[in-house]
């Protein structure tokens, strides 16, 4: 006999788990399925996990509404109130500060494992939410009026609608023939945690130059020692050479690429290289199924927006489904799910286009274009209103649509 729910979510990553908790709070019965067992081993500070995310103020508000943010230990969260961006090939420079835009902070940084761990803990405490962890989607059947899912454990689940939050290589997207527009960014991102000699000043530092796109993201200091998480995006061959360097040489290259703003002391968590691909599903929904988060779209991490876009998908989809439930509409009906797609697609496409334009603008080393780029950055740096607009967008307080 199949167990009945209102919604089945495949994927209990950041986006799927948050959606499940928020939907259960709206009195919907939820099944949350993930092949991961849900038990995260957290590293001990200052050996911060290499994968971290910049969380916007809108995402923080959503995580608070879900009761997740309050459970995260404060010594695992770094607040940043400044951001400095410069062109390594010229003197173009822009700084953003929370103070100048009347915001309490620009955002927060935290380790993905810490956030995932807290989301699963909160999901376990949530009424109306059943977890199927360490379990995989075996087969599924979709229709306007209801969906059926079989798991590898043998469980059969029924619901009105299925949500695909199963990440960039989404089985649900691929098996249901969703077309995508995608291309390789020609970049791999090297991520690691680094100890530096000087305080980071609660500032996110980002350099665009010959050495690639490099971000130093502040992590909490421990006993007067200072740490940053790095995201260093370079062509794949360059990433392979950087990964092959011993620690001392890697630190020297890193320091050079950061224009020696900091003395790089050591790598406290092993380096990882992640290939970067832009992907966007042409549709997010089909009868009985909605894709959210990385299952629907992935972008370059240079502005730290991927998970934040996924959280915005979750917010809108929860609103659409809760309203439809109150009206007695079938949650999997195409006309219901298209409301979610209409509300989110333009914003996600605009962000993807912005990241591509940024990446191309900073990839060129043609002298005339570099000069123009630097002039543009200087103009931007002088414009408080442009900075306010960009910060409000990055914080999720405004959208393009």
Nearer to ligand FAD, 293 or 332 (CB): 293
Q: How far apart are CA 128 and CA 20, in angstroms?
A: 10
Would you state the structure tokens that stand for residue 124, as one six-digit string?
């376990």
From the number of C-beta atoms within 10 Å of its C-beta (0-12, 13-18, 19+), residue 336 rates as buried
* 215, 205 contact by CB (below 8 A): yes
Nearer to ligand FAD, 218 or 293 (CB): 293
In the complex, the smallest distance separating the C-beta of residue 220 from ligand FAD, rounded to whole angstroms, is 16
Nearer to ligand FAD, 136 or 283 (CB): 136
Q: Would you count residue 204 as binding ligand FAD (CB under 6 A)?
A: no
* 230, 274 contact by CB (below 8 A): no
Name the residue with tokens 């038990």. Answer: 39
| Residue of the chain from 288, 293, 332, 354 that contacts ligand FAD (CB under 6 A) | 293
In the complex, the smallest distance separating the C-beta of residue 12 from ligand FAD, rounded to whole angstroms, is 6
For the four alpha carbons of 385, 390, 395 and 396, in that order, the dihedral sign comes to: positive
Q: Which stretch binds ligand FAD (CB under 6 A): 34-42, 236-244, 280-288, 390-398?
A: 34-42
* 54, 302 contact by CB (below 8 A): no
Q: Would you count residue 213 as binding ligand FAD (CB under 6 A)?
A: no
Name the residue with tokens 């809760």. Answer: 322
Q: Which string of DSSP letters, residue by residue, matches 341-389?
A: HHHHHHHHHHHHHHHHHHHHHHH---HHHHHHHHHHHHHHHH-HHHHHH
Interaction residues for ligand FAD, span 270-289 (CB under 6 A): 274
Interaction residues for ligand FAD, span 217-236 (CB under 6 A): 231
From the list 61, 18, 7, the residue with the least C-alpha distance to 321 is 7
In the complex, the smallest distance separating the C-beta of residue 4 from ligand FAD, rounded to whole angstroms, is 20
Q: Which stretch binds ligand FAD (CB under 6 A): 162-170, 199-207, 277-285, 327-335?
A: 162-170
Q: Would you count residue 33 as binding ligand FAD (CB under 6 A)?
A: yes
Cβ-proximal residue to ligand FAD, closest one: 13
Q: Would you count residue 189 as binding ligand FAD (CB under 6 A)?
A: yes
Would you state the structure tokens that stand for residue 83, as one six-digit string?
């951001």
Q: Would you count residue 305 as binding ligand FAD (CB under 6 A)?
A: yes
Interaction residues for ligand FAD, span 316-335 (CB under 6 A): none
Residues in contact with ligand FAD by CB under 6 A are: 10-16, 33-36, 53-54, 136-137, 165-167, 171, 189, 191, 231, 274, 293-294, 301, 304-308, 310
């Amino acid at each position: 006999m199949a167990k009945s729910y209102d919604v089945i979510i495949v994927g209990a990553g950041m986006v799927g788990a948050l959606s499940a908790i928020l939907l259960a709070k709206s009195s919907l019965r939820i099944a949350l399925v993930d092949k991961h067992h849900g038990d995260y081993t957290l590293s001990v500070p200052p050996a911060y996990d290499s994968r971290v995310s910049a969380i916007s103020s809108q995402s923080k508000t959503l995580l608070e509404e879900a009761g997740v943010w309050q459970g995260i230990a404060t010594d695992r969260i770094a607040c940043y109130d400044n951001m400095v961006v410069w062109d390594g090939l010229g003197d173009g420079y822009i700084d953003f500060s929370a103070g100048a835009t009347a915001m309490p902070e620009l955002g927060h940084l935290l380790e993905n494992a810490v956030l995932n761990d807290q989301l699963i803990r909160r999901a376990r405490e949530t009424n109306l939410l059943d977890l199927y962890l360490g379990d995989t989607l075996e087969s599924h059947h979709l229709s306007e009026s209801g969906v059926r899912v079989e798991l590898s454990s043998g469980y059969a689940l029924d619901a009105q609608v299925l949500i695909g939050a199963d990440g960039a290589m989404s089985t649900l997207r691929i098996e249901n023939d969703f077309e995508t527009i995608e291309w390789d960014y020609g970049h791999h991102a090297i991520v690691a945690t680094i100890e530096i000699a000087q305080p980071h000043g609660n500032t996110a530092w980002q350099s665009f130059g010959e050495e690639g796109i490099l971000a130093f993201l502040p992590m909490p200091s421990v006993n007067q020692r200072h740490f940053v998480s790095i995201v260093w995006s370079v062509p794949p061959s360059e990433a392979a050479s950087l990964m092959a360097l011993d620690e001392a040489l890697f630190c020297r290259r890193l320091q050079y690429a950061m224009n020696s703003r900091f003395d790089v002391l050591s790598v406290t968590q092993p380096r990882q290289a992640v290939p970067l691909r832009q992907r966007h599903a042409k549709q997010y929904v089909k009868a009985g199924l909605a894709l959210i988060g990385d299952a629907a779209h992935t972008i370059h991490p240079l502005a730290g927006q991927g998970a934040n876009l996924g959280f915005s998908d979750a917010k809108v989809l929860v609103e659409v489904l809760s309203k439809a439930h109150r009206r007695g509409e079938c949650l999997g009906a195409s006309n219901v799910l298209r409301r979610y797609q209409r509300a989110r697609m333009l914003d996600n496409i605009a962000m993807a286009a912005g990241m591509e334009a940024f990446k191309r603008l900073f990839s060129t080393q043609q002298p005339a274009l570099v000069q123009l780029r630097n002039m543009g950055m200087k103009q931007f740096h002088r414009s408080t209103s442009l900075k306010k607009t960009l910060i409000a967008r990055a914080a999720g307080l405004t959208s393009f649509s």
